[in-house]
Amino acid sequence: MASGKIRDPRADHLLTPQNAALLIIDYQPTQVSSIASREKRALIANVVALARTAKLYGLPVVLSTVNVKTNINKPTIHQITDVLPGIEAIDRTAINAWEDEDFVRAVRGTERQKLLIAALWTEVCLLLPALDALHEGYEVYPVIDAVGGTSKEAHELAVERLIQAGAKPASWIQVICELQRDWNRRATVPGFSEILFAVEGG
């Protein structure tokens, strides 16, 4: 049995390593500790798996924090920065990352139209930049099992609003499988299996 011809990875309507970028916004200790819609250890495991996935497939990653330089908040949790060494976080004072010029410049600099977004909280730091990105014509994929809100209701209402606006919700396992797509892409199979079973195995 032969695989079909590989489609143009930039023009593909599905996610590929050549047409997607990952935005990770505000995974800082205060934000993580305030999550009530998802168990915190699962949240961290899922966003780390997502970061590892981006690294495995060579996706551009934009990392952002809020109020670190003002000494109000602490930096990104080490579980993420350990996976993404050398990626400097864009620190902001704007609640909506899309209202920060450096952040938007970094996103545009990826030259990718499909944006995977993970952010805390769902109802604020995911919702607002995602809505703005959609308004500017980007395809937005909020990675729902890697995000969380201050309550289950707040999280669910934000996800509903995103879907109504045209966002395409995903899970991190969906993302890694969509990027891998074919077992014949052997270079990434070992990493794929390692990431998948590290989380699934607990």
Neighbours of 75 (CB within 10 A): 16
Which residues are catalytically annotated? 125
